[in-house]
Amino acid sequence: MQGHPRKKLNVNRASVVHQVRYAARHPERVVPYLRRTARDLWLRAKHRDHVSYYRAVMASDAGRNPEAAVGSQSHERWLALGLMQFDYLKQHGLAPEHRMLDIGCGNLRAGWRFIDYLDPGHYYGIDISPDILVSAKRTLVTYDLQPKLPYLTISGDLTFDFLPDGHFDVVHAHSVFSHSPIEVIDEALSHVGRILTPGGFFDFTFDRTEGREHHVLHEDFYYRTETLVSLAERRGLKAQFMEDWERLPHGQSKIRVTTGG
The residues that touch ligand SAM, with contacts defined as CB under 6 A, are: 51, 54, 58, 70-71, 103-106, 109-110, 126-129, 132, 155, 158, 174-176, 179-180, 184
Closest approach of ligand SAM to the CB of residue 27, in Å: 26
Pick between residue 93 and residue 251 the one whose CB is nearest to ligand SAM.
251
Of the candidates 87, 67, 64, the residue with the CA atom closest to the CA atom of residue 75: 67
CB 11 within 8 A of CB 216: no
Closest approach of ligand SAM to the CB of residue 72, in Å: 8
Pick between residue 9 and residue 79 the one whose CB is nearest to ligand SAM.
79
Closest approach of ligand SAM to the CB of residue 16, in Å: 26
CB 169 within 8 A of CB 199: yes
Amino acid at residue number 14 = A
Pick between residue 166 and residue 181 the one whose CB is nearest to ligand SAM.
181
Give dist(CA 121, CA 127) in Å, integer. 17
Closest approach of ligand SAM to the CB of residue 105, in Å: 6
By CB atoms closer than 10 A (0-12, 13-18, 19+), residue 208 is buried
CB 110 within 8 A of CB 82: yes
Pick between residue 23 and residue 79 the one whose CB is nearest to ligand SAM.
79
3-state secondary structure 183-209: HHHHHHHHHHHHHEEEEEEEEEEEEEC
Pick between residue 158 and residue 239 the one whose CB is nearest to ligand SAM.
158
Closest approach of ligand SAM to the CB of residue 178, in Å: 7
Backbone phi, psi, residue 102, to 5°: -105, 105
